[in-house]
Amino acid sequence: MSKDILVASYYFPPNPGIGGRRMAKFCKYLVQKGYTVHVINVENPHSESSQWVNEVKHQNIKVYTLPLNYPKVLMEGADTQEKKRTLIKRIHYKLVSYYYSKIQKKRIYDPTFLWEKEFNELAKQLIFKNKINNIIVSISPHYYAWYAAKLKKTLPAINLIIDFRDPWLTLRDFGLQIMTERQKKNEQKIISETIANADYIISPSNFVLDEFRQYSKDVNRMIEVPHAYDLDDIKLFLDPASQSVKADPDKVKFIYPGTLYSDILPSLLKLNDILNYLKEKNIKIYKKLQFDFFVDQTHYSDYFREHSIVKFHKPIGKKIFEEVSKSSVILILYAEHNKNYRTTKFYEFLPFKKTYLYLGPEGDTYNFIRKNKLGVSFNNSSDLKEIELYFENIEKYIDNYSPLIDFNEFSFDKQTDRLISFFK
């Protein structure tokens, strides 16, 4: 088996965004295990850079960058309100979008819809030059998985692994929610062809895989490979002695590090209801609590004006791990659309051995926490009196934390070994 691997990842560093983390970490650990990784990514159109860019600076991680090759008029159209565009630009936008979406049947909001020629030429060149057997394609966006699947048809010896970080048809992005029925049927044909020609379909979530199981009877090649933590990021903070500032022993600190989306509001409002209730019914417990949000969306602090125990801070990068180490409870808030997808942060904080508090819709994450005794889950209609009992006994939950899962299995070291097991 060749020790050279080809990875295709649109968001691979230096492109910013959480979408690049998974493959950046896998590449880091593949190199540690003796592989040379060739990566196809896209030019970075943003002023900022990925926080994982330094982790992929290695002589055995070779990055080949494709031009964005996305029609400028479509990009401007997406970034500009309709009423602010000139008449000529509006007409130009409609003509270009009509040509690609109606005549060529392309989903124009997938930024890789014009990539095929350049992608396949570069991929073939790298495959032949480096005697590559294994290709990993990290999705989304989606179309370059289809291109790789068509390439596999011409090079059947290639072992194609498609990693769906996100679903396809049900994703709330890339124009998927505004497709016509005709466009949807065409997209289903593309998905079917992609799935048929892949050797393995992997994903961090079984619920994502469920979408693709309907396209193939061979479900054994569809395997959950969860998100993972990188021990190098957190090992310094796993030792309480490393904390420069100690936690307040008189407070029970809840920490929320991550992103707050607009449709997460019901879960935030539930938390606000809980705090209103405790403030009125159990002020002694209320005063012991502290909630710290480290998020970009600090405007949500408006919902907690009556609660000085809730503070919103801007993200602090990897310093968040020290804050987690000083916390008592990890707060998890999910919206309806992602209730079945355990995020990167969910796994990243497991080694700290902090109990979780979940507020949100019932789903896979809600059940996973309960089943594995990782903490307590409440839905958005849970009785406030029941939740009060949880806060009254919060120190018992903290002191008696005894999960039923082996955290080591969720390290990138272990998950990279799983990934390698799919290689040929």
Cα–Cα dist 95/152, whole Å: 34
Q: What pLDDT is stored for residue 14 in this prediction? A: 93
**Residue 174: other Cβ atoms inside 10 A:** 19
Instruction: Assess contact for 160 and 197: CB atoms under 8 A.
Output: yes
How far is Cα 122 from Cα 377, in angstroms, rounded to an integer?
48
pLDDT at 243: 54
Segments in the chain below pLDDT 70: 1, 75-85, 98-99, 102-105, 174-176, 178-179, 240-248
pLDDT at 195: 95
Q: Look up residue 406 and give its DSSP letter.
A: -
Tokens of 288: 């012991």
pLDDT of residue 15: 86
Output the average pLDDT for the chain.
Answer: 89
CA distances from 418 to 195, 201, 421 (A): 20, 13, 5
The pLDDT value recorded for residue 98 is 67
Domains defined along the chain, listed by start = 4-71+108-225 (3.40.50.2000), 231-409 (3.40.50.2000)
* Edge-to-edge strand ranges of the sheet holding 4-9: 61-66, 36-42, 4-9, 134-139, 159-164, 200-203, 222-224
Q: What is the Cα–Cα distance from 297 to 257, expressed in whole angstroms?
A: 11
pLDDT, tens digit, 9 for 90 and up, residues 127-184: 999 999 999 999 999 999 999 999 999 999 999 999 999 889 887 776 667 667 777 8
What integer pLDDT is reported at residue 80 of this predicted model?
46
Structure tokens at 293: 């949000």
Distance CA 249, CA 137 (A): 47
What pLDDT score does 176 carry? 67
In 301-324, which positions are buried (b, 16+ CB within 10 angstroms) versus exposed (e)? eeebeebebbebeeeeeeebbbbb
What backbone torsions phi and psi does residue 319 show, to the nearest 5 degrees? -65, -15
234, amino acid identity: I
pLDDT at site 107: 79
